[in-house]
Amino acid sequence: MLKIKNLHAQVGEHQILKGLDLEVMPGEVHAIMGPNGSGKSTLASVLSGRDLYEVTEGSVEFEGKDLLDLDASDRAREGLFLAFQYPVEIPGVSNINFMRAALNGKRAHKGLDPIKGKDFLAKVKECGELVELDGRLRDRSVNEGFSGGEKKRNEIFQMAMLEPKLAILDETDSGLDIDALRVVSKGVNAMRTPDRSFIVITHYQRLLDHIVPDYVHVLSGGKIVKTGGPELAMELEEKGYDWI
Amino acid sequence: MAQTEEDKLLDEVTGKSYEYGFTTDIESDTIAPGLSEDVVRIISAKKNEPAWLLEWRLEAFRVWSEMKEPEWAHIQYEQPDLQAISYYSAPKKKKELGSLDEVDPELLKTMEKLGISLEEQKRLSGVAVDFVIDSVSVGTSFKEKLGELGVIFCSLGEAIQEHPDLVRKYLGTVVPQRDNYYAALNSAVFTDGSFCYIPKGVRCPMELSTYFRINEKGTGQFERTLIIADEGSYVSYLEGCTAPQRDENQLHAAVVEIISLDEAEVKYSTVQNWYPGDKNGLGGVFNFVTKRGICHRKSKISWTQVETGSAITWKYPSCILKGDDSIGEFFSVAVTNNKQQADTGTKMIHIGKRTRSTIISKGISAGDSQNSYRGLVKILPSAENARNFSVCDSLLMSSTCGAHTFPYIEASNPTAQIEHEATTSKIGEDQIFYCQQRGIEEEEAIGLIVKGYAKDVLNKLPMEFAVEAQKLLTISLEGSVG
C-alpha cells in the first residue's frame, strides 16, 4: 500500500523529517505517536501534498505509484485521505455541494460519470448516520460555525463518503470530549476493511483504546525511533516519551 | 420598417461591422466621425424624432460642451477621442458566417464552458441559422402576452414614436442631462435602448430581458433605458449577457433610469461581460454607465449586478429614496483580472421617512487589476428614522492586485441608523489545499470558494441567470491564483 523510504523534508531552511521509513500493508492500522515538534503533522502534510513542505531526499510509493510525483488533488483521487487536525471553513459552500464536487472529481479521475442525485443523497444519509452528523450540518457551509467536535465528525463523514484506500487521521482526537471521541472512533472502526489502511497520528493513548492499531511507532527528531504493538502505546502513556 | 428594425437590432447584438456587401446603401448612411450640434440634429432627424426631443438633446449637448471629463475615479486610462467616433450609423446587415468553424475558437470555448447551447452559440456569434425565425415568433407570442396585461416593452426608439407622452414625462427625470459628463453625452447622442412600462397593479409574469432569446437588444454604444413601474406594479428586468461580448466600440456610455411609483417594485439584474481586453488590457471596452432609480412611497428598487468584463468599469447604480417607507438595495459582485480596472458601487439617497437601504458589495481582484468600491449613503434632514446596512468585502487573488474601498456617509438626521462592515481577505491557501485534498482540482477549488464568497449576491439573481453567472465567475478567474 504505502512505502516510505528515507524521507527527508523541510520547511524553508528548517529540516523536520530526517530519514523516515515506514511501510503500511493493506488493512493495517498504524499509530504514530511522539512528542510535540517530532514531525508527526509534517508527515501528514508531506504525504497529502501540501506545497509548504519540500522533500529533499527519499521516496514514497503509494499503490505502486510515485506519490511525490502527484499533486494534492491527484493523490486524493488515487485514494489518499487526510482528516485534518484543523478542518478549514469555506463560507458559502455547502457541505453537501463540497462533497459532490469531491466525489465527482474522484469519479472523473476513474473515467466514471458524475454520481446520480438519488444515489448521492442515499450515500450522504448513510455516511451521515455513521458519525451522527446532524442533517443541518450537512446543509451548512463547510465547517463554518461548527463546534470542534462537529468539525472532526465532519472529517470522518467526508472520509466515509470518499472511501479512501489510505486514511491519515491527524490528531483527530484533539479537542474531542469522550462522547465525540466514541462517535468518531465508531465511524473509523466501521470503515476498517481488509483493503483499507489507516495512519493514526495522536499524542494520546486514549484514542487507541477505541481504534486499536496493529502497530505503534514513535516518531522523534524526524525519524521513527521505536516500533511495537498496541502495548507500546500503553507503555508510553505510563512512562512518557523521555523513556525512549 | 419591421425589417430594418430587426436588422438594426441584430447588428447591435453582434456589433460586427458589415463587410460583404449584401446591400449598397450602407456607407452613404453613416455620418462622418465627430460631434457637433449638427450631428445631434442629424441623429434626431434620422430617427424621426419630435421637436421636443431634439431640443432636449441639444440642451444636453450644450451642457456637455461645457463639461470636463471627471477624474475622481480610481482608474487610469487614456481618454477616448470623442471626435473620432461616428455617432450615427444606419442599420447594418450583420456579417453572416457560414458555420461555427468560422467563429473565434476562444469565444466558442468560453460559451461551451458557460453551458450555452449550440443553437444559442450560433445566434450569439452571428452564424446564420433559421432560429432567427423561431426567435421572432417566440418574441411575438411573448409580446402578445405582455400586451394583454398592458405592459409595454420595446426599444426606446419605438417608444418615442408610439408612446411619446410617457417618454416625455419621464425621460431625464432621474438622470438629468447635466448629471455628469457621460450622462450628458449620452443624452445628446443616444441611439437606442429599451423602454418598459408596467401599468398600475400589474405584476409582470415573466422576467423582462434585453438579451434572452429575443431580439429586443439595444447594445448600442450610447444605450438608454427607461423603466417605469406604475403604482403597485412589479417587474424583474434583466440586462446583459454572460456570453463574452466583443465590440469594436471602445467607449460605452449608457444611461438607465428607473421610476418606481408608489408601492411598486423593480428588480434590475445585470450581468456585464464586455470584452476586457487582452492580458495587457489592450482593446478592452470602457464602460462608463449612469444607472439610477427613484423610489416613491413604499416602493422598492433592487439592483443586482455581476461585473466581470470591460477594461474599465465606472458604474454606480443608485437609488433616490424619495417616498416615505421606500427601500433601496444594491447587491454587487465585481471581478477584475489581468489589467482590468473597476470603480463601482452605489449611492443611496434617503429623503423620505423610514427609508431603508441595503448594500452588499463583493469585490474580487486578481492579476494586476484594480478594484474599487465607492459608495455614498446620504441621509437628508427630512429622512426621519432612515436605516442603512452596508457590507463591502474584498477578496484578493494575487499579490499584485489592488482592492480599495471608498465609503462616504453623510447623515443629516440624528435618528438615522447606519451600519457599515468591511473586510479584506486573501484567498486562503488553506482553503484551496483542503479542497485539493478532497480531490477537487485547484481551478475548481478556486471557483467553489469564490462562488461561496459571492453567494449572498448570486442568490439575488433570477435562477437561470445565477447558474450562468456562477460559471462566468469561475471562467473569469481562470489561471489567476498567485
Residue A59 binned pLDDT confidence (cut-offs 50, 70, 90): very high
C-alpha cell at A181: 471521541
Mean pLDDT of B71-96: 69
What is the residue extent of each domain of chain A?
Answer: 2-243
pLDDT score, position A203? 85
- Under DSSP, is residue A162 helix (H, G, I), strand (E, B) or coil? helix
Query: How many CB pairs lie under 8 A apart between chains A and B?
Result: 80
Instruction: Tell me the mean pLDDT in the region B34-56.
Output: 89
Q: B456 and A92: CB-CB below 8 Å? A: yes
B461 found inside a domain: yes
| Percentage of chain B modeled with pLDDT above 90 | 38
> Would residue B11 count as lying in a domain?
no
pLDDT of residue B219: 41
CA distance A155 to A198: 14
Whether residue B439 and residue A105 make contact (CB cut-off 8 A), yes or no, is yes
CB contact residues (below 8 A), chain A span 150-189, against chain B: 158, 162
Model pLDDT, residue B400: 87
Structural domain for B362, as ranges: 131-159+189-476
**Is B215 contained in some domain?**
yes
ipTM: 0.95
Task: Output the DSSP codes for B216-255.
Answer: -----TTBEEEEEE-TT-EEEEEEE-SS-B--S--EE--E
pLDDT for position B104 = 62
A73–B449 CB contact, under 8 Å: no
Indicate whether B286 belongs to any domain: yes
HEC string of B68-102? CCCCCCCCCCCCCCHHHCCCCECCCCCCCECCHHH
Judge: A76–B438 Cβ closer than 8 Å, yes or no. Answer: yes
Q: What is the structure's pLDDT at B114?
A: 62
Q: How confident is the model at residue B118 (pLDDT cuts 50, 70, 90)?
A: low
Closest CA to B318 of B350, B287, B343, B342: B350
Distance CA B49, CA B30 (A): 18
Query: Which residues are registered as beta bridge partners of B203?
Result: B234
Architecture of the domain whose range is A2-243: 3-Layer(aba) Sandwich (3.40)
Domain assignment present for B237: yes
Out of B271-275, B385-389, B420-424, least confident range: B271-275
Q: Chain A partners of B442 at a C-beta cutoff of 8 Å? A: 71, 73
Helix B442-458 × helix B463-476 angle, to 10°: 140
Q: Report, as an integer, the average pLDDT of B188-214.
A: 80
Q: Is pLDDT above 90 for B423?
A: no
Amino acid B210: pLDDT? 60
Quote the minimal CA–CA distance from A234 to chain B in Å. Answer: 32
Instruction: Tell me which chain B residues have a C-beta less than 8 angstroms from the C-beta of A162.
Output: 438-439
Judge whether residue B23 has pLDDT over 50: no
pLDDT of the residue at B382? 96
- The continuous run of DSSP H or E covering B393 comes out as strand B387-396
Of B142, B289, B290, which Cα lies nearest the Cα of B216?
B142
Helix (H) or strand (E) holding B456: helix B442-458
In chain A, whose CA is at the least distance from the CA of B452?
Answer: A92
Q: What is the pLDDT of residue B261?
A: 97
* Residue that wins the pLDDT comparison between B103 and B374: B374
Whether the per-residue pLDDT at A149 is higher than 60: the answer is yes
Residue B171 domain flag: no
Structural domain tally of chain B?
1
Chain B residues within 8 A of A145 when measuring between CB atoms: none
Cα–Cα separations (whole angstroms), residue B134 to B120, B141, B214, B239, B360: 12, 11, 9, 21, 39
Q: What is the structure's pLDDT at A174?
A: 86
> What's residue A105's pLDDT?
92
Q: Does A106 touch chain B (CB under 8 A)?
A: yes
Instruction: Please compute Rg for chain B using Cα positions.
Output: 22
| Residue among B332, B399, B392, B331 nearest B365 (CA) | B399
Is pLDDT of A193 > 60? Answer: yes
Instruction: Give pLDDT, residue B247.
Output: 57
In this prediction, residues A124-145 reach a mean pLDDT of 88
Lowest mean pLDDT among A10-19, B75-84, B164-173: B75-84
Higher pLDDT, B204 or B124: B204
CA gap A206, A229 in Å, rounded: 15
pLDDT at B279 over 80: no
